[in-house]
């Protein structure tokens, strides 16, 4: 059976050292996985020049690890001309993915989600009875979650607001690792407009409209000190942006999934 093909965007912004560590782990663990063939597209979202240089070094070092291990996986580097936001970086990366890949995905570059968790979920896609597989930060099934109480409370408030407005049925829409069936997602790529933290919700809402089968998979997650958290800081802004997104999505015709 041929290996399942995945194109995974790794959005980065001034995360040279963290991206370096994560990509080394990703490549090392990946050499042992042969049931999937993964392409990691590292998208530099307009980082400072020294950070960009470090991120290019990370790609080169990961590529060498894969070469020495005889792995079929690949790492590429792509740079945006300016900082546009995580959502824009993910969309840019997907636009450069090979047309024949079976799954499109993304994962945060800061290492909050260990490389072993990426490969565990990637390997599970061969038997997944779903079109969308999303990481979820929930303490169950033996998973370890290291996250401050403040962020946990922010996350639960945000998740409640999302469920009230969009009825997606997700515990955690904002976990930074998701996999999407490319056949379903590609027709929707031109409809995506969110450049920052609302991209996850936009995609999930559109795929729900299209009839996609979605599952959440509990994963280990280790919160990284110093990482940014946009949602929840300004509750008025958060709610206004969610309401704006809901209105825009309601105005779009539903796609069909047969």
Establish if 256 belongs to a structural domain: no
156-186: string of b/e by CB count within 10 Å (b at 16+)? eebbebbeebbebebbbbbbbbbbbbbebbe
The tokens for 180 are: 């999407």
Range(s) of the domain holding residue 12: 4-250
Measure Cα distances from 126 to 1, 27, 105, 130 in Å: 10, 20, 15, 10
**Taking a C-beta distance cutoff of 8 angstroms, is the pair 179, 103 a contact?**
yes
Establish if 112 belongs to a structural domain: yes
Q: What is the pTM of this model?
A: 0.89
Establish if 257 belongs to a structural domain: no
Per-residue model confidence (pLDDT) at position 156: 78
Establish if 31 belongs to a structural domain: yes
Tell me the average confidence (pLDDT) per consecutive run of 10 residues in the chain, 258 residues long.
Answer: 93 95 97 96 97 96 97 97 96 97 96 95 92 89 68 75 91 93 96 93 95 94 64 65 91 58
- What's the CA gap between 154 and 63, in Å, rounded? 37
Establish if 255 belongs to a structural domain: no
Per-residue model confidence (pLDDT) at position 84: 95
Per-residue model confidence (pLDDT) at position 240: 87
Count of residues in the chain? 258
Closest CA to 119 of 71, 76, 152: 71
Per-residue model confidence (pLDDT) at position 238: 78
**Taking a C-beta distance cutoff of 8 angstroms, is the pair 125, 38 a contact?**
no
Establish if 258 belongs to a structural domain: no
Establish if 66 belongs to a structural domain: yes
* Domain count for the chain: 1
CATH number of the domain bearing residue 101: 3.90.550.10
Establish if 224 belongs to a structural domain: yes
Measure Cα distances from 109 to 24, 137, 161 in Å: 11, 17, 27
Per-residue model confidence (pLDDT) at position 250: 87
Measure Cα distances from 237 to 173, 181, 192, 233 in Å: 18, 32, 20, 9
Give backbone dihedrals phi and psi of 139, rounded to 5 degrees, phi first: -80, 90
- What's the CA gap between 217 and 125, in Å, rounded? 11
């Amino acid at each position: 059976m041929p290996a399942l093909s995945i194109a995974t965007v790794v959005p980065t912004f001034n995360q040279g050292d963290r991206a370096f560590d994560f990509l080394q782990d990703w490549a090392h663990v990946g050499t042992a996985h042969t049931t999937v063939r993964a392409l990691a597209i590292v998208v530099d979202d307009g980082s400072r020049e020294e950070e960009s240089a470090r991120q290019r070094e990370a790609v080169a070092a990961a590529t060498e690890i894969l070469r020495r291990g005889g792995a079929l996986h690949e790492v590429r580097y792509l740079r945006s001309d300016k900082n546009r936001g995580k959502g824009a970086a993910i969309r840019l990366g997907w636009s450069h993915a090979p047309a024949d890949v079976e799954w499109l995905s993304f994962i945060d570059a800061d290492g909050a989600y260990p490389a072993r968790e990426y490969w565990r979920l990637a390997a599970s896609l061969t038997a997944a009875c779903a079109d969308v597989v999303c990481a979820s930060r929930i303490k169950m099934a033996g998973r370890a979650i290291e996250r401050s109480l403040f962020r946990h409370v922010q996350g639960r408030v945000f998740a409640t607001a999302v469920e009230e407005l969009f009825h997606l049925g997700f515990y955690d829409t904002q976990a930074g690792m998701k996999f999407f069936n490319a056949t379903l997602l590609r027709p929707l790529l031109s409809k995506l407009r969110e450049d920052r933290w609302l991209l996850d919700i936009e995609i999930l809402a559109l795929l729900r409209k299209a009839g996609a089968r979605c599952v959440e998979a509990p994963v280990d997650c280790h919160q990284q000190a110093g990482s940014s958290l946009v949602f929840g800081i300004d509750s008025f802004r958060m709610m206004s942006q969610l309401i704006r997104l809901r209105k825009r999505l309601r105005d779009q015709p539903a796609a069909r999934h047969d």
